[in-house]
Structure 1
């Protein structure tokens, strides 16, 4: 499973999301929106943070740890 966290360089949620992913044992790749205009255009991203899972936009906002837990449990993670 490929998980990508897309954030702006000034997004204050990054540390919190990092902790939530670590708590859940989910590996992810950190991508800065400024460096990936192709992903921004392809997914209609207008703000940060966004989370892609297997190339699909899963969250357009900062999810809670419980929302992440539910999402990944449905995927069998």
Structure 2
């Protein structure tokens, strides 16, 4: 599973999301909106943060740790 945190370089929520990912044991990559206009266009990105999972937009906002846990738990049980 490829998890990308797609954010602006000035997004102050990044450390919090990274802490939640680490706490849940979720591997991820940080990608900057400014460096990926193709992703911005493809997913109609208008703000930060965004979370892509396997190339699909899963969150357009900063989810709570509970939302992340629910999403990843549900995803694992379906596959």
Normalising by structure 1, we get a TM-score of: 0.98
Who is 2:17 aligned against?
17
Structure 2 unpaired stretches of 5+: none
Question: Which structure 1 residue ranges, 5 or more long, are not aligned?
Answer: none
Q: Distance in 1 between matches of 2:49 and 2:5?
A: 7
TM-align CA RMSD = 0.9
Q: How does 1:1-77 map to 2 (within 5 A)?
A: 1-76=1-76
Q: How much has 1:73 moved relative to structure 2?
A: 0.2
Paired residue secondary structure (1:52):
strand
Structure 1 or 2: larger helix share? 2
Q: Aligned partners of 1:55, 1:35: CA distance in 2, in Å?
A: 16
**Secondary structure of 2:52's partner?**
strand
How far has the Cα of 1:41 moved from its partner? 0.2
Deviations along 1:21-53, whole A, 9 cap, x unmatched?
Answer: 000000001000000000000000000000000
Q: Alignment partner of 1:31: what SS?
A: strand
| TM-superposed deviation, 1:75 | 1.1
**Deviation, structure 1 residue 71:** 0.2
